[in-house]
Structure 1
């Protein structure tokens, strides 16, 4: 498992590197938005452990890193790890494409489990933070019926593709999983985004997460 740590405090990066469990290999570090984007694009880690508040860039912090780095490293998954537990920070980084958000009070074992879970396609949140995400993306009971109606617009194959893409699978991985061509995956993804009126795979992930479809 390859990981890049993005945090502007060197002591925290060193401590985190030492605390991560066996099977996780830290292949790079960065301490600011621009250097993080460059490092991720160059190394293509499986998971990025991402602080929310970072210097540099246009002031978007961790959310900006996730947005800018994703096109150059589409298979990389982002896990926010921050001292902040504010709803605003949580929602911003999840909207940008992060697969989870845990606080820096987490133990090394907790972070290790979260890294493996995110790499495996799961969404991971510290308990009290999950509510922020569900509230922000409208996962109230009244919207569950709406999500069923929205799913009815999709064919069974489109639903399969939608769930895999929302979990962070690359197009090639989806093609291998479903025994179809990459071109067919692209066609299905385009249809899913059009039918659900979404503009990107990150919006699709947020949509599926909010409706507890992952």
Structure 2
């Protein structure tokens, strides 16, 4: 027979969703130091795996990457919420872009933290969202407040040119505009230098610009930096 307070004493069951296996391994290792508070019960590297895994493991908190090749965090939220899961979702992403934060919160996430967070801070964030708090990395909460201040269901004004870019192309462009070299962008986003070059070429084609300096100015004008 269990006592009413037992749930407060056991670790929070966590499911980890990220398309990079090395990053998932790193998060597991970091959270292992807080095994008395959190327990990673499963993981997934794609939207389909995430939906199936969350249904199987019934976690209390899902750590969710925002950008994945087959749809990303918002798509996981849409599919899982349709299945009536009781899990709470906390976005964990390399991106600190306002549009990414707003999109995943609108989809149903309870918070959003960036991958620069320490293992101890991440464990704290997991426990807090499980307890009902909304958790954000510094300055990200302002994006949400600004977006929802306009009223429930409102959406930011669109930019037709910006809408042509994929979420990953925006990530690459944002870092490029901040002065990152291709190798640094690749390291930051866990992709290859060749993939970075491909994304930059695609952005140049879509924006009809000629070089990274023009791209940087274009990104700055649209407040991507």
Give the TM bin, normalised by the shorter chain.
0.5 to 0.7
- The equivalent of 2:137 in structure 1 is 126
Tell me if 1:35 matches 2:12: no
How far apart, in 2, do the equivalents of 1:70 and 1:46 lie?
A: 14
Deviation readout 1:150-181 (Å, 9 max, x if unpaired): xxxxxxxxxxxxxxxxxxxxxxxxxxxxxxxx
SS in 1 for 2:43: strand
Deviation readout 1:58-117 (Å, 9 max, x if unpaired): x3x101101111232531000000000000100000001000000000000110000000
How far apart, in 2, do the equivalents of 1:37 and 1:134 lie?
A: 29
Whose Rg is larger?
Answer: 2
- Unaligned 5+ segments in structure 1 are 144-214
Tell me if 1:12 matches 2:26: no
How far apart, in 1, do the equivalents of 2:30 and 2:15 lie?
A: 14
How far apart, in 2, do the equivalents of 1:15 and 1:3 lie?
A: 14
Tell me if 1:86 matches 2:102: no
- The equivalent of 2:149 in structure 1 is 138
How far apart, in 1, do the equivalents of 2:105 and 2:94 lie?
A: 16
1:51 aligned residue (65, 82, 85): 65
How far apart, in 2, do the equivalents of 1:5 and 1:39 lie?
A: 10
SS in 2 for 1:79: strand
SS in 2 for 1:102: strand
RMSD of aligned residue pairs (Cα, Å): 1.3
Structure 1 ranges of 4+ moved more than 3 A: none
Tell me if 1:109 matches 2:123: no
How far apart, in 1, do the equivalents of 2:108 and 2:135 lie?
A: 13
Shift of 1:25: 1.1
**TM-score under structure 2 length normalisation:** 0.59
**TM-score under structure 1 length normalisation:** 0.62
